[in-house]
Chain A
Amino acid sequence: MWILYIEQDGRVSCRRRKLPMLSRTFLELIAIFLACLCLPLRAAPDTTASVELRSQTVSLPYGADLVTLSYRVTAGQVKEIPLVAVLVDTLGDQDPENDLPRYVWILTTAPPSVPQRLLSLVPFFYFSPGTNDHPDGNALPPFIDIAHLDRSQWKRISWYAAQSFLLNPQPWFLWSLPAAGSANWYEYERVRAATGELLMALWKNANEVDKPLWLDSPEWRETEAILFGRSVVRGYLRSRQLQELRNEQLRRQRSRLARNWELLRQRAEEEHLFFDPLALPSGEFTHALLWVAKEDVERHWRVRPFNHRFLNIRSPWRDRHLKGWQGYVKEVETEEGTHHLIPLAIYGLDFPKIPTLLVDFRDVFNPKKRELSRRIKGDGIRYALERSPLWNGTYRMGTWIYDFFTGRTGVDYNQPSRLSTAAQLGVLLLVNDQLAPDMKVLIQEELGRLKLNPLTLDFEGFPRVAIAQHAALLKQALQGEGLRQRLLQDRQRDQVRLKHGLGKRFLFQLVRFASLGQYRHREPEEFRAAYIFHRKWRHHQDFLREVADSEGPLELVWDPQRIHRSLQFVLENADRLPESTGRLAQVLLERAQTPELQSLAHRCLLAFRPSGELRASGPQILPRPPSLGLPGQTEPVSLPRP
């Protein structure tokens, strides 16, 4: 049994305690008895549940904070489930400007077990043996390691190249297993990314008013844009382009959710069903339930036609099972009177073109066969016919035409994988307070049938896995050496990159390779101060670059106090800043309109170019602003002659 302890010094620790056999048996009997008492004959909606998202911070002794987002459900008893944890490298000080997010753990997803990994190598294996929800207590690898983000996707590209050119010519057994494994692994990563994206969005929304600086740091924004961008080429783009794409992606996602919401609502209305959207705590609707009223089934039995387009379920008006329904029912009051609603299906709204069917309460194979349709087609071509999906022109043309028609008409076969939106439903079930607990259990059971990837996890195991993983993580963070060493190594890596160029770094890697990993270059302790300073500087640098990249007079577009603060930092630390900062100062000087900012920018420029000369700034990207007659403006500041 795992028990969380809060020590006298305030630390949280997790210990395993073994109970005597008699005590265990007694407790189990009591648990069974209580469980029987709690089983309702008919589910009553729990209207007293409330969900609260909280973030908690645990300070680690090596200059980092472990921040955990968890949700607390108050439904009779309080239950707190951690969702995602972030290690923020604070350097042990109280200055938020030098904080850097390092690692992110998605606590609801467990690392696959060995049986899962082995089974994932088998083509056409569309089942999952179950979740590894008993982690061995060792450090689980972070989902995101910002310092080691595969920005340029070299790993993936290299693996694909190796698969295509080295393995594919080999006998079937040798190339198909790795191919299946990498495809399943890639899908597993995407599901985790979708879950992570949703959780981070929840976090941001929960902290809208008092958002920590690290959530807006350039590293984090860039990581989000690359990781959640779903495009291989994003790693090669500039920061500004990434942000534009990310913003566009979020707008499209929002539009997609809204359109599918409305599509499903209208279809439900046309078919005389009940539409019940499910919201995250942020108010965003990501999934929806469809219900049918028992009274309507009686009234329209075998009379009313049913158009299943976009709904993809069979007619409720001819389903005998519904006519004599004895299962879960929800009672609602409307203008028409009281209705007893039977759940029909659940749909994911964050899906291209149409809401995707995730759960069909009357036909468990329905969502599965739709999900399988694309897989079987692709796997059949690949493993049975041994044709490469990428390089085979006929296949690609045929797929394109087929995809075009199915996408155009809204057919739910051969659609992109719905496992990501299913995983998001798993998260929503945790944090949503509209659904009754037994309804959630029912949904989780049904959702579990969508486990087509051997690496995916049981949705009903989310809380269990999350608690276990969080406990292991805490233990590892507080007591273990692994995380500490990793952090220190990453700091060292940053310092090496800061101090040395590409050539020297390559040399260090070469030496390390030659020494079989024994030699690892470390910067002296004296460099630490410079590194800490650099961490603070990058916060201001990111801001000043953004200011320089913008258009228009500074005081018009930006808050002058904010610019003032960053320029003041530059002025006070000019001797420690790189030469390129002078160019930034020059750009800002050219665009400043008020004497205060002009003077400050000029002083900054002088700090880098004592002669005061203004160098040509290259092609004029920014338009020169006109004089706008702003208050307090005098003649432009003229630079002193050398």
Chain B
Amino acid sequence: MKNASTENVRRRSGGLLGRRCLFIGCVAVSLAASALAGSQGEAARLPWRVVLLKFDGLPFHLVDDNIDRLDSRTARRWMPWTRHVFYENGVRFPHFFTRGLSISAPAWCILDTGRPPAIRFSVEFDRATGAVEDYLNFATFYWDMLRRQRIYPRPVEVLDELGVPLFSDVFPAERTYSSIQLFQRSLRWMVLANVARRQFFHASPREYLYQAAGGMGFKNAFFEANEREFLYEIEHSGKQYLDFFSAMADKNLHNDNGPGAARHVVEELDQVVGRTFEAIQKSGISDRTILVLVSDHGMNTRSDRFSQGFNLVRLLGLPQGGAHHVLTKRRTLSNYSLKILVRPLATSVVNRSQAGGYLKDKPEYVTAMLDLDGNERASLHLRSSHLNRLHLVLLQLQKKIRTRRSPSSLAEELRVLQNGLEAKVGRQLVELEEELGNLSETLSSLKEARDLTPAQKFQRDRFESYREAYEAYRQALSGLLRARPEEVADGKVSVRQLLPPGIFGPSNGIHELQEYVVDVDMEGRYRTLDYFQFLAGQRVRNTRGGVESKPVDFVATRVPVEQALPALQAAGLGADEDPVWLYASPESQALILAQSFSGETRLRYVPVAQLRQDSSGAISFRRIPFQPGLPLRIWEDPDLGVTGRREEWLGQFHGEEEWRWALYRTRYSLGILGLYEACQRPRTLPGISPALARFFRRRQLHMDPDLQIFAADGWNFDVKDFNPGGNHGGFFQASARATLMIWGGERTGLRRGVSIEKPYDSLSFLPTLVDILRPLDGGSEMMRRLSAVPWAGQSAREVLQAELAQAPP
């Protein structure tokens, strides 16, 4: 029999428990509600908000050509939201170009920092240490994150080292939302968790069947999870800066040039625009929100032809190409490789040459490093030709290569080569020692500091690795300079000790590239290769779709101004900075000269032929008249926008703006400006401490390629896979013309339904954004900091309504 009092106690306690639970539940709900209301309340207090949609590789022509398209069966619009938001109610920039090379890392660097690119290629190789910087590799980033070896992706680490802030750094962390992308400071583990959930847990049995039948793949699930989080943040949070990154366009358009792929891309893009726009409307502060759709570069894709691949890695590995072991960031034909399973996260792959040569059985001696990102261009580092000669002499001294040369002549040559190397690098080694000393001091102070943030700790570790690697480089070269022939001949010191693998030495000048030493014959004569002629002279038999049989359009390299000046002056020309030399054939070449006029840099395009550099460094060339077939084909381009006689106009120096207006409709778009940007020496780094500035500038110089190779239209240099779709990297209109469109709420003062016909490049992006936000801002500290930045680009103030555009900044 139940005890009544016990029962009553039980009931009371049960009731008390229930009331407690109810109370706790109410508190929890109210806390959540207040958090929600609080965040929405915070949003309401924001003076303005900026939302960026970043689509990698979205060409403007794809958007513009399809904006009015209707489905043939249902008459449904392909892009209703883009049309409504940006074309009818926003501002679009039909002539917005990537500045420099149309590749992702430098392009996003410009867009995210507003400055000339501190990161100049998507993959960079350090000639001194053989290190590979792959800025596009997310897999290794997350792997390093899991192992607690990194907190930011590599591009952000490099920017931090160089003292270049991101635009989003201006905002407090709690007011910033950045999705997974190249330049991010936040992690999105929840996105990955949501991807897993979306892939493996479904709402209904039909969804499971849909997945089994090949439904949403991982990439789509990732894209969707990313977007969901982004939309939630817009609607519910008090974030002031939000951006969403998608590589969907780039991935699809690289692989498929068909109309189906184009439609898929624009429809997906439009849905993102639509959902984002609706989320903004629901957020409550749409009247003072700016929505931007921007891409880093375009995509050169045509539905009537496949892009055709030319394998530079294989070419360089052939005997006639120099029998190089080539270092790339990705494995050749990675989809058909088993080795990739052993090292799936490898950031560098050695492509071994099967040709005979003095390095045939030594694949660790990489002598060429090739960056192929974008596929429409390539950057090539070759080991110093001087080091090649040294290597051959050392091998002959140790009789590892048998020639008819006497030991005394080899010893004499070794001395001469050492003297030559001393002249090239002697001073640099002294400076490097000093720079490493500064770096050591910085490291010591970092090691002694007690309150380092995790980012600073990782930076300290990286500085340590730089110091070690560069110290090894300095000692190797110093050892090489001190080596005595008799020690080498006696075997007291090995060639590997004197010349370790991975050291490429100083950059090759034009003379070295025109007489590049690749091997030695029985007589001891060096076999050389003119890489300009070799690369630009390649021909392919099997081409289709109107693609020309010459895969390499032209090759570009920088000419040190001190070497070029005598020849320029003799030809009645001048330059204040290093000219850029473009080589299409022996009789079809050009120089891009830069001179400073009252603080403004002006450029000039000069056709030349037969440019050569002799062993003393003297440059000679022949000036030729403007004619069809020159690199960039400006002369014959019907869309060249110049006033007056073409020859007269082209025979003068012009500023950037003049060149933009002249070139923006031409086949090679802003190629002259892009080449100047891409081939310049690294700029001064304003944000870095003076003690370290020299070291990092040296490091940047070491990452300068010897040559930049540009593919002809319809060609690509992809080796990782077959790439019949589109490509980018070069200066063709479709590759370089990116997308920029802006919409603003009622209070933003943005014009509606306007197309800005003036050509701009990516340096103008952030100054324009700042000018749009300034009138909304009440003079906050954030805006003061933004206004104080010496933006390199021109702001497009014409996006604002007249009275705002005319107001002083």
Q: State the A residues within 8 Å of B (CB).
A: 211, 216, 229, 231, 233-234, 236-238, 241, 244-245, 247-251, 254-255, 258-259, 261-263, 265-266, 268-270, 272, 274-275, 277, 283, 334-336, 353, 405, 408-410, 543, 546, 550-552, 556-559, 561-562, 623, 625-626, 628
B213 to chain A, nearest CB (A): 5
Q: Are B81 and A335 in contact (CB under 8 A)?
A: no
Q: Are B308 and A265 in contact (CB under 8 A)?
A: yes
Question: Given contacts A259-B722, A265-B308, A410-B336, is CB(A216)–CB(B210) below 8 Å?
Answer: no
Q: Are A556 and B84 in contact (CB under 8 A)?
A: yes
Of all chain A residues, the one with the shortest Cβ separation from B718 is: A262
Of all chain B residues, the one with the shortest Cβ separation from A627 is: B281
User: Which A residues are in CB contact (< 8 Å) with B206?
Assistant: 236-238, 241
B709 to chain A, nearest CB (A): 18
User: Which B residues are in CB contact (< 8 Å) with A409?
Assistant: 336-338
- Sampled A-B contacts (30; CB under 8 Å): A211-B72, A231-B213, A231-B214, A236-B206, A237-B206, A241-B206, A245-B213, A245-B215, A251-B256, A258-B256, A258-B724, A258-B725, A261-B306, A261-B724, A262-B306, A262-B307, A265-B544, A266-B722, A274-B542, A283-B304, A335-B539, A335-B549, A353-B336, A408-B338, A552-B274, A556-B84, A557-B77, A557-B80, A559-B75, A562-B74
User: Which A residues are in CB contact (< 8 Å) with B546?
Assistant: none
Question: CA A551 – CA B258 in complex, angstroms?
Answer: 26
Contacting A at CB under 8 A, from B250-290, are: 255-258, 260-261, 264, 271, 274-275, 278, 281-282
Question: Does B70 belong to the interface (CB within 8 Å)?
Answer: yes
Question: Given contacts A259-B721, A266-B309, is CB(A336)–CB(B75) below 8 Å?
Answer: no
Question: CA A626 – CA B281 in complex, angstroms?
Answer: 7
Question: CA A77 – CA B748 in complex, angstroms?
Answer: 72
B737 to chain A, nearest CB (A): 24
User: Which A residues are in CB contact (< 8 Å) with B492?
Assistant: none
Question: Does B176 belong to the interface (CB within 8 Å)?
Answer: no
Question: Does B209 belong to the interface (CB within 8 Å)?
Answer: yes
Question: Given contacts A233-B209, A236-B206, is CB(A628)–CB(B74) below 8 Å?
Answer: no
A308 to chain B, nearest CB (A): 14
Q: Are A237 and B213 in contact (CB under 8 A)?
A: yes
B721 to chain A, nearest CB (A): 7
User: Which A residues are in CB contact (< 8 Å) with B306?
Assistant: 258, 261-262
Question: Does B427 belong to the interface (CB within 8 Å)?
Answer: no
How many chain B residues touch A (Cβ–Cβ < 8 Å)? 53
Of all chain A residues, the one with the shortest Cβ separation from B205 is: A236
Question: Does B314 belong to the interface (CB within 8 Å)?
Answer: yes
Known: A237-B210, A557-B76. 20 other contacts (CB 8 A): A233-B209, A233-B212, A234-B213, A245-B213, A247-B260, A251-B256, A251-B258, A251-B261, A262-B307, A262-B723, A265-B544, A353-B335, A405-B338, A408-B336, A550-B76, A551-B274, A556-B80, A556-B81, A559-B70, A623-B278
Question: Does B45 belong to the interface (CB within 8 Å)?
Answer: no
Question: CA A454 – CA B751 in complex, angstroms?
Answer: 71
User: Which A residues are in CB contact (< 8 Å) with B311?
Assistant: 266, 270
Question: CA A283 – CA B544 in complex, angstroms?
Answer: 13
Q: A265: which of B539, B542, B725 is its contact (CB, 8 Å)?
A: B542
User: Which A residues are in CB contact (< 8 Å) with B281?
Assistant: 626
Main secondary structure of the interface of A (DSSP, over half): helix
Contacting A at CB under 8 A, from B593-634, are: none
Produce 1/0 per residue, B71-93, CB < 8 A to A: 01111110011001000000000
Q: Are A254 and B261 in contact (CB under 8 A)?
A: yes
Question: CA A265 – CA B311 in complex, angstroms?
Answer: 12
User: Which A residues are in CB contact (< 8 Å) with B308?
Assistant: 262, 265
User: Which A residues are in CB contact (< 8 Å) with B74?
Assistant: 543, 546, 558, 562
Q: A628: which of B73, B77, B84, B257 is its contact (CB, 8 Å)?
A: B84
Question: CA A275 – CA B309 in complex, angstroms?
Answer: 14
User: Which A residues are in CB contact (< 8 Å) with B335?
Assistant: 353, 408
Question: CA A623 – CA B549 in complex, angstroms?
Answer: 53
Question: CA A335 – CA B541 in complex, angstroms?
Answer: 8
Question: Does B540 belong to the interface (CB within 8 Å)?
Answer: yes
B585 to chain A, nearest CB (A): 15
Q: Are B209 and A237 in contact (CB under 8 A)?
A: yes
User: Which B residues are in CB contact (< 8 Å) with A628?
Assistant: 84
Q: B80: which of A254, A259, A552 is its contact (CB, 8 Å)?
A: A552
Q: Are B541 and A269 in contact (CB under 8 A)?
A: yes
Question: CA A211 – CA B71 in complex, angstroms?
Answer: 13
User: Which B residues are in CB contact (< 8 Å) with A557?
Assistant: 76-77, 80
B448 to chain A, nearest CB (A): 52
User: Which A residues are in CB contact (< 8 Å) with B209?
Assistant: 233, 236-237
Q: B724: which of A237, A241, A262, A543 is its contact (CB, 8 Å)?
A: A262
Question: CA A259 – CA B255 in complex, angstroms?
Answer: 8
